[in-house]
Structure 1
Amino acid sequence: MESKNKNVPAKLHIRKGDTVKVISGNAKGETGVIKTVLIEKSRATVEGVNLITKHVKPNAQNPQGSIEKREGAIHISNLMVIDPKTGEATRTGRKANDKGKLQRFSKKSGDFL
């Protein structure tokens, strides 16, 4: 199965709700839970990681305007899933479970994610 855009992988190794570790960049070593995955851009936002400053224009609800801290998107190649059994970053693979359905598994412990 191949995606239409050559820069986007057909299947991602992460998904919303996974606990991940940042393996490179300014936020290296930090961990958090994935809030959103931007499939077209191969990026994800991780809770509490890669905070950026965003200036918000004044509007009816907020007449003053403000400066907010938000999570910035991180490229998925810089993220590794944390194995729930060992608590360490691990690579993932896909294999059939008991019912024959493909499911992600941890390469370190062999457990399904």
Structure 2
Amino acid sequence: MAAKIKKGDLVEVISGPTQERGGYRGKQGRVIEVFTETDRLVVEGVNYVTKHVRVGQSDRGAKEGGLETVEAPIHVSNVALIDPSTKKPTRVGIRVEEIEKDGKKKTVRVRYAKKSGKDL
């Protein structure tokens, strides 16, 4: 399922509490990282958690530590890919196309945004 959403895609959170209630539903962001084995992904600006970092010395000798806020992974089923033409969340399909490159035909899978019932 995570193969339909890739690093760098623009996605929108479609589940959880609304932004008025302190959640992230309706928020859009770019995918930073995809974990295919657990079907989770990290979205920029979504699902912030506080991480405690132990004090340690960096390469330059400075001591760093304390509290950091970082994005945590969310499940791929909680986000939807944004259609580039309508800027709204949409479902994703995969179709097989043949591409001719250097005189050779190659079969590749291409992602495309499906039209929803409201767009027809």
Equivalent position of 1:56 in the other structure: 53
Q: Relative to structure 2, which stretch is displaced further, 83-92 or 63-72?
A: 63-72
- The one of 36, 40, 43 aligned to 1:43: 40
In 2, the alpha carbon distance for the partners of 1:84 and 1:42 equals: 23
Runs of 4+ in 1 over 4 A off after TM superposition: none
TM-align CA RMSD: 1.7
For 2:77, what is the secondary structure of its paired residue?
A: helix
Equivalent position of 1:13 in the other structure: 4
Cα distance change of structure 1 residues 64 and 102 upon mapping to structure 2, 3 Å threshold: closer
For 1:58, what is the secondary structure of its paired residue?
A: strand
Q: Relative to structure 2, which stretch is displaced further, 56-65 or 17-26?
A: 56-65
Equivalent position of 2:25 in the other structure: 28
Q: Residues 89-112 of structure 1, C-alpha deviation per residue, up to 9 Å, x if partnerless?
A: 000101133524220000028xxx
Equivalent position of 1:90 in the other structure: 90
Q: Relative to structure 2, which stretch is displaced further, 60-69 or 84-93?
A: 60-69
In our comparison, the structure showing a higher alpha carbon Rg is 2
In 2, the alpha carbon distance for the partners of 1:94 and 1:19 equals: 17
| Bigger proportion of residues as strand | 2
For 2:3, what is the secondary structure of its paired residue?
A: coil
1:41 CA drift (Å) = 1.0
Output the TM-score relative to the length of structure 1: 0.80
Gaps of 5+ in 2: 17-22, 100-106
Output the TM-score relative to the length of structure 2: 0.76
Equivalent position of 2:80 in the other structure: 80
Equivalent position of 2:20 in the other structure: none
Gaps of 5+ in 1: 1-8
* Residue-pair matches, total: 100
Give the aligned residue type for 2:81.
V
Identity, % of aligned positions? 41
Equivalent position of 1:103 in the other structure: 110
